[in-house]
Structure 1
Amino acid sequence: MSKLDQYVKAATPDNTRKAYQGAVRHFEVEWGGFLPATAESVARYLVDHAETLSVNTLRQRLAALAQWHLDQGFPDPTKAPIVKKVFKGVQVLHPAQEKRAKPLQIEQLAQVDRWFEEAIVVAGTKNDRRAALRHLRNRALLLLGFWRGFRGDELTRLRAEHVEVIPGQGMTCYLAFTKTDRQVKGTTFKAPALARLCPVEAYLAWVNAAQIGEGAVFRSIDRWGHVSTEGLHIDSLVPLLRSILKEAGVPSPELYSGHSLRRGFATWASANGWDVKSLMEYAGWKDVHSAMRYVETADPFARHRISEMLVLDSQE
């Protein structure tokens, strides 16, 4: 691979590139479309898959086809009026209800942390290095992910040389790019040291035990307790989180995903008086609608608010 290709490849996250490649392959190989595509063929592709693929999946397929044409120097057929009208029709006739990850509540976070404390002690008494390292890593991942409201890919890309810790005060994490960092200027996130459920303490315990001074913070551990030099793959994060919750006795672990930590923190912050602006600045949201999608209100059906108003009405 030439240096030019390396830089071009680095411009797009691996998971996005793989998803786009799969989408283009589906259009060309499985459906039998031709590239470069015409607007009419893209419209027919949408029609043929309107009842079997979700609106979000079709949107991603269009984005992949658009990117392929732009990369190859061809006009983008997905911007044609016929394609836009067909896609709007699909949205009308096959509306998609957005599925949101279940937020990890603070009570559940505390439950899992208590389980970690006991599991780490047990692993130590059994001289089980693999189990001890695994629990230390997972505890740090969970607490840092929650209190920083990190996305899954941000956790897997965090590097030790980009983390600065001031014991008893907090830690600073630098990420070269994030989802909302369109200019790739890099973003610095700060996490506080806490009296309990402390992400700083958990982070130090993990990197010291694993002897990590540089490179990926969160890594795989083999059966003999050897820590890999490579970071966890993004695809392993959701199964890992669900495994942690299952082991700790949290009900229905299959309902949680990589967004559960971020949603959990947003819900906790909102319930404890954080205004939307403060929450957006802390978690890195640029759009208020994006931020509010992550907040699970304490009274989702407005039952208490309406009940209180009914009581006041009856007293008049």
Structure 2
Amino acid sequence: MSNIEQYIHAATRDNTRRSYQAAIHHFEVSWGGFLPATADSIARYLADHAKTLAVSTLRLRLAALAQWHSDQGFPDPTKAPIVKKVLKGIRELHPAQEKRARPLQIEELTALTSWLEHESEAAIATKNHKSSLAHARNKALLLLGFWRGFRSDELCRLQSEFVTVSPGKGLTIFLPRSKGDRQSAGREFRVPALSRLCPVSAYEEWIRLAGIGEGPVFRNINRWGHLSEQSLKPNSVSALLRSMLEKSGISILDGISSHSLRRGFANWANSSGWDAKTLMEYVGWKDIQSALRYIDTPDPFAQRHIEQSLGENSQDQ
């Protein structure tokens, strides 16, 4: 790979690259389309999958096709009027409600952390190296993901050489890129040391047990208890979280995903009196609408406000 190819490859996130490759494969192999494509064929492709795929998925497929044509030097057929009209019609005829992850509550975080600590102690007592490693890793991932509101891809891209520990104070983490960092300037995150449910001590314990000096922080562990050189995959974090909850006996699996950590922290901070500006700066949201998508208000049906007003009106009469 030449220097130019390396830089072009680095310009696209791994998740995006995999998604685009899967989209192109679906268009060509699963559906039987031909590349370069015509606007009519793409319109038919959208129509054939309008009832089975979400609009957001169709948009991703279009983005992948647009990128392929651009990279190969062909005109982009996804910008044709017929394609735009078909997509608009799909939105009108097949509206879909956005699915949101169920937030992990602080009580559930506490119970899950206690279970992990208990299992870790049992594994150490029986000299089960693989289990003790797994529980230490999962505890660090859980607490770091919650208290920093990290996305799954951010957790999986943490590099130990970019993490600085200030004992008793916190962690300083540098991420070279993240979802909201369009210019790839990188961003620094600070994680506080806490009196309980501490992400800093959990991180230190995991790094110590795993003997990680450089490279990915969160990695796979094979059946013999050996660490992989590669990081966990972002799409594996949801399954890992659900597995922990199921094994611990916390039966709240419906709606649980890796976003449950981010939403859980946002709801905890909101209920604890954090103002919107502080929360947005801490998590990294650029606008209030992004923040509101993650926060469940304490009075979702406005019942308390309406009942209070009804009471005041009755007193006036």
Conserved 8 A contact 2:102-2:254: no
Amino acid at match of 1:126: T
Structure 2: how far apart are the matches of 1:116 and 1:236?
A: 19
Conserved 8 A contact 1:242-1:254: no
Per-residue deviation, 1:297: 1.9
Structure 2: how far apart are the matches of 1:243 and 1:189?
A: 28
Structure 1: how far apart are the matches of 2:226 and 2:18?
A: 29
Conserved 8 A contact 1:150-1:262: yes
- 2:146 matched to 1:159? no
Per-residue deviation, 1:25: 2.0
Conserved 8 A contact 1:285-1:291: yes
Match of 2:172 in 1: 172
Structure 2: how far apart are the matches of 1:191 and 1:89?
A: 46
Structure 2: how far apart are the matches of 1:286 and 1:210?
A: 36
Q: 1:159 and 1:291, CA in 2 relative to 1: closer, same or farther beyond 3 A?
A: same
Structure 1: how far apart are the matches of 2:182 and 2:7?
A: 16
Amino acid at match of 1:7: Y
**TM-score, length basis structure 1:** 0.95
Per-residue deviation, 1:181: 0.5
Match of 1:100 in 2: 100
SS at match of 1:228: strand
Conserved 8 A contact 2:156-2:231: yes
What do residues 238-293 of structure 1 show as CA deviations (whole Å, max 9, x unaligned)? 11111111122222324211111111111111111222222121111123212211
Per-residue deviation, 1:30: 2.6
Match of 1:292 in 2: 292
Match of 1:60 in 2: 60
Match of 2:200 in 1: 200
Structure 2: how far apart are the matches of 1:8 and 1:22?
A: 19
Match of 2:120 in 1: 120
Match of 2:267 in 1: 267
Structure 1: how far apart are the matches of 2:5 and 2:241?
A: 34
196-205 or 242-251, larger mean C-alpha shift: 242-251
Structure 1: how far apart are the matches of 2:223 and 2:80?
A: 54
SS at match of 1:255: coil
Conserved 8 A contact 1:130-1:223: yes
205-214 or 3-12, larger mean C-alpha shift: 3-12
Match of 2:250 in 1: 250
Amino acid at match of 2:136: L
Conserved 8 A contact 1:169-1:193: yes
295-304 or 235-244, larger mean C-alpha shift: 295-304
- 2:232 matched to 1:226? no
Match of 1:313 in 2: 313
Per-residue deviation, 1:227: 2.1
Amino acid at match of 2:122: V
SS at match of 2:273: coil
Match of 2:133 in 1: 133
SS at match of 1:188: strand
SS at match of 2:279: helix
Per-residue deviation, 1:115: 1.0
Conserved 8 A contact 1:101-1:259: yes
User: What is the percentage of aligned positions where both structures have the same residue?
Assistant: 60
Match of 2:89 in 1: 89
Structure 1: how far apart are the matches of 2:2 and 2:178?
A: 26
Q: 1:198 and 1:305, CA in 2 relative to 1: closer, same or farther beyond 3 A?
A: same
Match of 1:144 in 2: 144
Conserved 8 A contact 2:193-2:200: yes
**1:42-57 alignment to 2 at 5 Å?**
42-57=42-57
**1:207-222 alignment to 2 at 5 Å?**
207-222=207-222
Per-residue deviation, 1:100: 0.7
